[in-house]
Structure formats: C-alpha cells, structure tokens
C-alpha cells in the first residue's frame, strides 16, 4: 500500500511526454550503424565513453603510466567494462 | 586548517616527485597521480554585492595494481564570504572481475548522474549547479559513506550500467521537513540502500533510473520510523553532427523525494519535493577558424518544487544562458546570464537576474 500511495504522486502526463521524447531519440540514434561493443576498436570506445560526459583529452596529454591510472579511475566512475578499459588504455598509450 | 594545508602541500609535492620519478627511471608497479580542478568565479547578482569566489580540488589517485585503486578528492573553497575545506570523497576500489567493482569509503552518490559525473567545473557547462542538486535545497545526498558495487555489462551493441550501495544515510530535520546529508555518523541503525541502473541502446544515448531509501529519523525520537524515498530519472544524448560542424549535448534529470508523513507535529503534511533540470549545448569544434571552434553555447532550465506546507516552500525556476570559450580540452571561460523566479504559495512570483563569469581548469 505504501508503494501504491507513492506511485500516485507520479505525474503520468509528464512521464508519457518524456517517454515519447526518449523513444524519438532512440529511433533517431538507432539509424546510425552500430558495431557490437566487444568488436569496437579502442579509438572508437575512447570517443564514445570519455566524450559521453566531457571533452576527450589528447592521448599525448598524459604519460603511459598516468593513462593506466586515469583509465582505471574512469573505469570505476563510468562503469566501463574490462574490455572497454583495456582497449581504451591500449589506444591512448599506442598514440602517445 | 594549517595542518590540513600542510598535509595537502606535502602530498602535492610528493605527487610531483612521483611523476618525475615515473618518467625518469624505474616506474615500479605502484602508480600515483595528481589530478583535479581549479576554478574562479565572478558573480554579479541583482540587489546584492558582486563577489569573487575560488576553489581548488585536488584528486589523488593511487593504484597498487590494475585491480586496486584508491581515489580521494579534497575540496578547498572560498565562497559565501568564508573558507571551506572538505573531504569530497575518499574510497578504496577493488575490481573483482570484468563486470564488478567493489568500493568502500566516502563516495559520490551513484544514484544521481549529475552529482557523480557532471558536477566538476570543467565538465559542467554552467558555473553553478542546478537547484535540485544544490546543498541548500537538500533533495539528494551528494555523497555517501558506506560501500558500493558497480559495473558495466555489454549486450551486443547495447550496454547496461549498474551501481548499488549502502551507507549511513540522511538525517531527518523535523522542524524544517528536510534531510541533512552531513552523515558522518548515523542517527539510527538503518542504512540507506540505493542504486542506479542505466541503459545505453546506442553509445550516444543513456537513460538511467536511480533510487534510494532509508529510515531518516533519530532512533530515540518519535520519528524513528519515518522513511525517505528518492527516485531519479536521467537522460543523456550526446552526438556529433557533421551538418552543424560540431557536437550537440542534451541532458535532463528529475528527482522526487518523498518523506513519510507521520502525522506528528511538525510533520503533519505530505512531504513530496520535486526538482530537476534540462540542458542543451552546442559546440562547433569542427568549424572553420580558430575562434569559432572553441565557442560553445548552452541553455539550461532548472527547478525545485517543495510542498506548500513546508517551512521552505518557495518554488524556484531558472533559465540560464551560457557562452563558453574553450582554452583547451579541459579549461574554459564561462559567461552565464541567469534569470530566476521564486514563487511562494498564494503570492505573486519575484524574479532576479545574475551574471557569472568563471574560469575553470581540469587536470
């Protein structure tokens, strides 16, 4: 009953509008060709994951050792998978 | 304060030494890095004196190996006419396997996407925080002290992210009808439990849902059984548009905080607070010419809507117009004009404007 009483506070009209907007974004975004995550190269994963929140930093801005640490930090903060973190670190260090 | 500054200075110098050593000789297996940010703001507000504020927030990263990381951030600020020195976060993280990381300590609230990932000055498109995550409105805890698990799981072209945590939890302030998030000690044995799950159908798009719940009353008080439930939805769409020679960044988040009505004075009203923001930014980074490619324009609308019966019951809405100039990929000038409206129940609204200029750098 507690849960039901809290659900009644939800503004269903606004939620419906948000749902429609999000659905439109999904349709538009899905038009772009997409490779399975596990097959994406490090450069692509770097742009997609890092650029999701902030400007991507040039590979040469940090040393290899610093990139290892920065990627581990962001792996935990941004919930990267192990494969994504490994490929991004390898790409950044190979471009250094 | 002096002792703390001495500690910070010592760690800062040791960080420089570690970096020099790492570049010049045997780098070893342990790694240390100093990151962080700095920012200075000029604020000119209607009917108030203009002021200048500044902050320095070093982040210390230390890894024993590829599975074990310590991260800590100290926040040293001069704002609101005073000086503040806070431990923003400090936690030990252990990568258990490819899809699971375990952490313990003080950490940024994983259920709130803005607070966890977008609030640093060089990432936030605006020089201030949206109302609903500002410390004065007290809708959501910025940090928790406790434990968390988190990770990301690929599913073909899609991805799912998750986080779950428990911690000391917020503390009820019955007279104000608000929660305090200074949870350095717990006021009851009940722990806050929360989490966030998000879905990325394509890399550009993320839709997330965060929730946290806990008993918030003092264990010895009449409010011992009062529960707080917070729900948050977030939306992110970032994409490169060749036709616009740049990138477009759309973000939105909304939070509902419901504190139980125990029908015990002074909490005798339904205590549901709402807030959120929506934001769009455009950065023509592929434009011709060295000036235009560094320019970014942004617009944000944000609001908070507390219950009418609450002591702090002003409904706030605000529109912010931002013009940013990027000096590098992680440093920028921000020029923001804001017009805010405050409405009390049964009264006409009042509005105020302000201008903020900010220089921010992330390192």
User: With 70 as the cut, is the pLDDT of residue B218 above it?
Assistant: yes
Are the C-beta atoms of residues A79 and B159 closer than 8 Å to each other?
no
Q: Any chain B CB within 8 A of the CB of A92?
A: no
Domain residue limits at B136: 2-362
Checking if the pLDDT of A25 tops 70, the result is no
pLDDT, position B137 = 83
Instruction: Tell me which residue in A34, A52, A69 faces B33 most closely, judged by beta carbons.
Output: A69
Please report the domains of chain A, with CATH numbers, ordered by start residue. 37-94 (1.10.760)
Comparing C-alpha atoms, which of A17, A91, A86, A76 is closest to residue B235?
Answer: A17
How big is the A-B interface in CB pairs under 8 Å? 132
- Are residues B202 and A6, on separate chains, in Cβ contact within 8 Å? no
Mean pLDDT score of chain A, rounded to an integer? Answer: 83
Q: Which of A19-33, B192-206, B207-221 has the lowest mean pLDDT?
A: A19-33
Average pLDDT (A20-38) is 70
Q: What percent of chain A has pLDDT over 90?
A: 58
pTM over 0.90: no
| Mean pLDDT of the B343-351 span | 87
Task: Name which of B169-178, B182-191, B196-205 the model is least confident about.
Answer: B182-191
How many structural domains does chain B have? 1
Quote the pLDDT of residue B3: 47
What is the predicted pLDDT for the residue at B135? 81
Residue B22 has pLDDT above 70, yes or no: no
Show residues of chain B in contact with A49, CB under 8 Å. Answer: 203
Confidence of residue B79 (pLDDT cuts 50, 70, 90): confident
Q: How far apart are CA A65 and CA B22, in angstroms?
A: 8
Q: Is A57 on the interface with B (CB under 8 A)?
A: yes
Tell me: pLDDT of B138 over 90.
no
Across the interface, do A25 and B205 touch by the CB < 8 Å criterion? yes
Is the model's pLDDT at B27 over the cut of 50? yes
- Residue scoring higher pLDDT (B12 or B192): B192
The yes-or-no verdict on residue B75 having pLDDT over 50 is yes
Sequence-ordered list of residues with C-beta below 8 angstroms from that of B212, at least 6 positions apart, any chain: B109, B111, B141, B192, B193, B194, B195, B229, B230
Q: What is the DSSP letter of A85?
A: H
Residue B266: cis peptide before it, omega within 30 degrees of 0: yes
The mean pLDDT of B91-106, rounded to a whole number, is 96
Q: Give the model's pLDDT for residue B289.
A: 86
Residue A31: per-residue pLDDT? 58
Instruction: Give the closest-approach CA distance of A39 to chain B in angstroms.
Output: 9
Report the CATH number at residue B351: 2.40.160.10
How many Å apart are CA B361 and CA B363, to the nearest integer? 7
Overall average pLDDT of the B4-17 stretch: 51
Check whether A51 has a pLDDT greater than 90: yes
| Interval B193-216 mean pLDDT | 95
The per-residue pLDDT for range B28-55, each reduced to its tens digit, is 789 999 999 999 999 999 888 999 999 9
| pLDDT, tens digit, 9 for 90 and up, residues A69-93 | 999 999 999 999 999 999 999 999 9
Give the confidence band of A8 by pLDDT, cuts at 50, 70, 90.
low
Tell which of A2, A79, A89, A92 to mutate to test the B interface (max B CBs under 10 Å).
A79
A35 or B235: which leads in pLDDT: B235
Beta-strand (E) ranges in B158-202?
A: 158-167, 171-173, 178-180, 192-200
ipTM attached to this prediction? 0.88
Q: How many CA atoms lie within 13 A of B97 on its CB side?
A: 2
- Please list, in sequence order, all residues whose beta carbon lies within 8 angstroms of the beta carbon of residue B328, skipping any fewer than 6 positions away: none
Work out whether strand B315-328 and strand B295-305 pair parallel, antiparallel, or are unpaired: antiparallel
Residue A28 has pLDDT above 90, yes or no: no
Q: What is the mean pLDDT of chain B?
A: 91
Contacts of B334 in chain A (CB under 8 A): none
């Amino acid at each position: 009953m507690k849960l039901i009483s809290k659900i009644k506070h939800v503004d269903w009209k606004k939620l419906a509008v948000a749902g429609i907007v999000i659905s439109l974004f999904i349709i538009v975004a899905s038009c772009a060709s997409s490779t399975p995550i596990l097959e994406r190269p490090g450069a692509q994963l770097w742009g997609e994951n890092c650029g999701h929140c902030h400007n991507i930093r040039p590979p040469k801005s940090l040393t290899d050792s610093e990139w290892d640490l920065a990627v581990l930090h962001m792996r935990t903060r941004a919930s990267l998978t192990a494969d994504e973190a490994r490929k991004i670190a390898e790409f950044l260090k190979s471009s250094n | 304060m002096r002792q703390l500054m001495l500690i910070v200075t010592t760690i800062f110098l040791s960080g420089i030494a570690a970096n020099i050593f790492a570049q010049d000789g045997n780098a070893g297996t342990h790694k240390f890095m100093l990151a962080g940010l700095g920012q200075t703001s000029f604020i000119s507000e209607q009917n108030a004196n203009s002021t200048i504020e500044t902050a320095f927030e070093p982040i210390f990263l230390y890894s024993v190996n590829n599975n074990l990381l310590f991260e800590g951030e100290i926040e040293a600020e001069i704002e609101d006419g005073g000086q503040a020195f806070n431990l923003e976060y400090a936690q030990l993280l252990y990568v258990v396997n490819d899809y699971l990381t375990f952490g313990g300590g003080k950490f940024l609230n994983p259920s709130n996407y803005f607070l966890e990932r977008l609030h640093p000055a060089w990432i936030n498109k605006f020089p201030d925080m949206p109302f609903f995550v500002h410390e004065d409105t007290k809708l959501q805890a910025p940090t928790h002290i406790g434990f968390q698990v988190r990770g990301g799981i690929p599913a073909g072209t899609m991805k799912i992210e998750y986080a779950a945590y428990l911690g000391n939890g917020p503390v009820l302030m019955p007279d104000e009808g608000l929660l305090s998030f200074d949870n350095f000690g717990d006021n009851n044995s009940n722990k806050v439990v929360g989490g966030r799950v998000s879905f990325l159908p394509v890399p550009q798009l993320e839709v997330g849902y965060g929730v946290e719940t806990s008993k918030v009353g003092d264990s010895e008080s009449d409010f011992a059984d009062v529960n707080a439930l917070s729900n948050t939805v977030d939306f992110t769409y970032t994409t490169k548009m060749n036709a616009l020679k740049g990138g477009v960044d759309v973000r939105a988040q909304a939070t509902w905080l419901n504190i139980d009505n125990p029908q015990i004075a002074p909490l005798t009203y339904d205590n549901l607070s709402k807030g959120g923001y929506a934001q769009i930014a455009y950065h023509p980074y592929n434009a011709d010419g060295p000036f235009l490619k560094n320019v970014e324009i942004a617009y944000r609308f944000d609001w908070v809507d507390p219950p009418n019966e609450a002591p702090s019951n002003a409904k706030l809405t605000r529109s912010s117009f931002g013009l940013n100039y990027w000096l590098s990929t992680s440093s920028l000038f921000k020029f923001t004009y804001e017009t805010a409206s405050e409405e009390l129940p049964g009264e006409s609204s009042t509005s105020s404007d302000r201008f903020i200029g900010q220089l921010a750098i992330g390192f």
